[in-house]
């Protein structure tokens, strides 16, 4: 039989399903009670009404994945932004727009359960079928602004946002390194006030950081276990979920023990004990493993394969392309990923723990929207069935985060829909063959988004025909031997620091006596990296274009070379190019006691070919502290 329900309470088929679900739910609740010895019920998150066009849509001859399984149905009718009915060969209402879904699969719009929203994030997400993002820490002013737009129904061109707002962390702890000024917490007695302040700001759930960084060879302050416990209790007192960011295996166990509703991330420091899966299951917690970002932390360039997919690439902005080529830490450790992360997923799955798909975009190696398709692939590679992976990005996050109006294709729910060619329940990569995205029944204009990117690329391609900068034929930038900052081409040298991003780092540059290879002068760059910003920098930047940050065509050159010496610290050379978007490509070098020559292929900078270089930065950071190094004989060759 098929389902054609106008009302969830009608029909014996529906009732029996409901009964079973109720029973399962009670069993889970009882278990939960048993373990936690207290009961709290989470309030449903707000339902945003969308302004929608009155158009009726009918998807015909289509395979329907409802968020849990493929239905025995081939027609979905959408009216006033909601699913009206689902069934087999349903008759289309008059004046309906028919969408032939032959060979295609219709899915609920995807939900990414771990992101950080700023800039174009929600727009980028929607293009790739992610109709809802669960943010895990963002600027609360921006959060308020977006939620206000949502209340007015004015966000048809971007994914919906639910957010933790400001996260809960210790002074100087993880979360304070991004340049946002945020309040922090030091003891359990502050917990309720702290949580209440977050809820007053509009947090939909509470995100807590319990991580000292040591699992990654870093070291930063974190809240203690008593504070963690108190914050979770405070969140539950207000019927809010508490999601805990962890970095280590022990951290994960502590968080579960303290009553976390969900874990953000898994650990990479050691394989779990044999009982870990059961332990999480017994406590009724869900896990958002964020496999993409765990790969990035383990030095795997997890985003790069997405750029080789011709279905995806035309829709990936230049900024996102640059970010997808990166990894958080260097030194790839694929064995650790298999032995620790994949082994943990296997345990969690066997124990019946709910796993949710989250990308942690826009961390290095990820981008909003597109990376969810990578996360789905990684979940399947780690042992989930394609159906389970799809549920992890649709029905399950809706269930766990109490989003009542979405996550399923079911009568009465929002028509947030993705139409893909092929069958992703057989081949998960079919989610990438997107043929349409609808938000509340309104089609998303993917085509103009694609055209904007294509135009941007065409403009940069045109730069290939530009003549090389006057004075650049020898390749010399500067040798400083006139005792000054003279450069042979471009608009010269300037100080660049993280002050433009809210940092406080300082730098100075001075031409000094004594250069490399017995020459008379060199450039001394000194300064101090201040505060714990993850991206902190300060140094000297050379601009090869006629104005700072204008592109110069240096495609006739293959390398950039320079000599350096200094205090023994590691420094960075960053190349900026229009094709890289806003983010530079980075290489590191050590400035030791005696002069040493470095030569980098331009290709080493994310594969650039030099036709659109806008800046070359020599800088210290991101580690805090004073620094001092010299450079000399700077040359493109």
**Binding site residues, Zn ion, CB under 5 A:** 136, 360
Strand 104-108 relative to strand 417-421: parallel, antiparallel, unpaired? antiparallel
CB of 360 to Zn ion, least distance (A): 4
CB nearer to Zn ion: pick between 90 and 263: 263
Which residues, including other chains, have CB under 8 Å from residue 92's CB and lie 6 or more apart?
Answer: 58, 60, 77, 98
CB of 300 to Zn ion, least distance (A): 18
CB nearer to Zn ion: pick between 174 and 253: 174
Strand, helix or coil at 466?
coil
Strand 97-100 relative to strand 262-264: parallel, antiparallel, unpaired? unpaired
CB nearer to Zn ion: pick between 211 and 612: 211
Q: Which residue is nearest to Zn ion (CB)?
A: 360
Strand 559-566 relative to strand 506-513: parallel, antiparallel, unpaired? unpaired
Tell whether the torsion through CA atoms of 205, 206, 210 and 212 is positive or negative: positive
CB of 489 to Zn ion, least distance (A): 42
Tokens of 386: 């394609």
SS (H, E, C) 204-242: CCEEEEECCCHHHCCCCCCCCHHHHHHHHHHHHHCCCCE
In whole angstroms, how far apart are CA 566 and each of 518, 542, 631?
A: 16, 19, 9
Tokens of 140: 């609360």
Closest CA to 68 of 385, 285, 292: 385
CB of 59 to Zn ion, least distance (A): 35
Please report, in angstroms and rounded to a whole number, the separation of the first and last CA atoms in the chain.
Answer: 72
Q: Return the CA Rg of the chain.
A: 27
Query: DSSP of 322-365, one letter per residue?
Result: HHHT--SSSS--HHHIIIIIIHHHHHHHHTT--B-----BTSTT
CB of 7 to Zn ion, least distance (A): 40
CB nearer to Zn ion: pick between 360 and 416: 360
CB of 114 to Zn ion, least distance (A): 6
CB of 134 to Zn ion, least distance (A): 11
Q: Could you give the dihedral angle defined by the CA atoms of residues 43, 79, 11 and 87, in that order, rounded to the nearest 10 degrees? A: -120
DSSP 468: P
CB nearer to Zn ion: pick between 125 and 409: 125
CB nearer to Zn ion: pick between 133 and 360: 360
CB nearer to Zn ion: pick between 254 and 360: 360
CB of 406 to Zn ion, least distance (A): 22
CB nearer to Zn ion: pick between 360 and 633: 360
CA 411 vs. chain centroid, Å, equals: 32
User: Can you list the positions of beta strands (E) in 469-584?
Assistant: 476-478, 492-497, 506-513, 521-529, 538-543, 559-566, 570-577
CB nearer to Zn ion: pick between 262 and 551: 262
CB nearer to Zn ion: pick between 136 and 529: 136
CB of 150 to Zn ion, least distance (A): 21
Phi and psi for 193 in degrees, rounded to 5? -60, -40
d(CA 391, CA 409): 12
CB of 183 to Zn ion, least distance (A): 18
CB of 362 to Zn ion, least distance (A): 10
CB nearer to Zn ion: pick between 71 and 209: 209
């Amino acid at each position: 039989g098929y389902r054609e329900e106008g009302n969830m309470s009608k029909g014996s088929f529906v009732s029996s399903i409901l009964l079973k679900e109720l029973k399962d739910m009670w069993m889970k609740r009882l278990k939960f009670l048993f373990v936690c010895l207290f009961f709290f019920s989470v309030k449903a998150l707000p339902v945003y009404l969308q302004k929608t066009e009155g158009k009726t849509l009918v998807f015909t001859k289509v395979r329907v994945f409802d968020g849990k399984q493929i239905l025995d149905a081939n027609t979905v009718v959408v009216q006033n932004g909601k699913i009206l009915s689902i069934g087999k060969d349903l008759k289309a209402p008059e004046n309906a727009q028919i969408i032939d879904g032959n060979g295609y699969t219709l899915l609920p719009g995807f939900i990414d359960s771990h992101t950080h929203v700023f800039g174009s994030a929600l727009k980028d997400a929607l293009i790739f079928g992610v109709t809802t993002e669960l943010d895990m820490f963002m600027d609360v002013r921006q959060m308020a602004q977006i939620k206000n737009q949502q209340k007015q129904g004015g966000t048809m061109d971007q994914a919906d946002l639910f957010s933790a707002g400001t996260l809960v962390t210790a002074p100087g702890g993880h979360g304070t390194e991004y340049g946002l000024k945020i309040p922090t917490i030091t003891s359990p007695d502050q917990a309720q006030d702290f949580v209440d302040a977050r809820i007053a700001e509009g947090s939909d759930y509470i995100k807590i950081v319990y991580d000292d960084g040591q699992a990654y060879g870093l070291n930063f302050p974190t809240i203690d276990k008593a504070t963690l416990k108190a914050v979770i209790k405070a969140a539950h007192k207000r019927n809010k979920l508490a999601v805990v960011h962890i970095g280590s295996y022990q951290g994960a166990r502590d968080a579960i023990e303290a009553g976390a509703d969900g874990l953000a991330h898994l650990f990479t420091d050691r394989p779990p004990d044999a009982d870990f899966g059961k332990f999480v299951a017994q406590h009724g917690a869900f896990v958002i493993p964020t496999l993409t970002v765990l790969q990035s932390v383990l030095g795997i360039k997890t985003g790069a394969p997405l750029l080789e997919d011709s279905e995806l690439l035309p829709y990936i902005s230049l900024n996102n392309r640059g970010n997808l080529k990166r990894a958080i830490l260097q030194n790839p450790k694929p064995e650790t990923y298999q032995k620790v992360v994949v082994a943990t997923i296997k345990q969690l799955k066997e124990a019946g723990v709910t796993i949710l798909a989250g990308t942690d975009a826009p961390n290095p190696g990820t981008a909003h929207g597109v990376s969810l398709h990578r996360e789905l692939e990684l979940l399947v590679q780690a042992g989930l069935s394609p159906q389970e992976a799809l549920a992890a990005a649709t029905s399950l996050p809706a269930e766990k985060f109490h989003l009542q109006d979405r996550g399923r294709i079911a009568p009465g729910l929002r028509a947030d829909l993705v139409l893909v060619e092929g069958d992703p329940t057989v081949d998960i990569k079919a989610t990438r063959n997107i043929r349409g995205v609808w938000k509340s029944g309104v089609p998303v204009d993917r085509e103009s988004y694609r055209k904007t990117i294509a135009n941007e690329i065409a403009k940069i391609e045109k730069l290939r025909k530009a003549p090389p900068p006057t004075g650049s034929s020898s390749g010399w930038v500067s040798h400083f031997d006139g005792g000054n900052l003279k450069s042979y081409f471009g608009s010269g040298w300037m100080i660049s620091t993280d002050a433009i991003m809210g940092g406080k780092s300082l730098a100075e540059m001075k031409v000094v006596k004594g250069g490399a290879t017995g020459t008379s002068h060199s450039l001394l760059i000194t300064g101090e990296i201040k505060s714990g910003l993850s991206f902190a920098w300060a140094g000297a930047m050379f601009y090869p274009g006629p104005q700072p940050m204008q592109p110069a065509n240096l495609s006739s050159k293959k390398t950039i070379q320079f000599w350096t010496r200094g205090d023994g610290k590691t420094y960075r050379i960053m190349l900026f190019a229009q094709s890289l978007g806003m983010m530079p490509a980075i290489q590191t070098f050590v400035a030791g006691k005696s002069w040493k020559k470095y030569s980098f292929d331009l290709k080493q900078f994310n594969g650039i070919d030099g036709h659109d270089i806008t800046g070359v930065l020599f800088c210290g950071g991101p580690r805090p502290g004073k620094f001092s190094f010299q450079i000399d004989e700077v040359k493109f060759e």
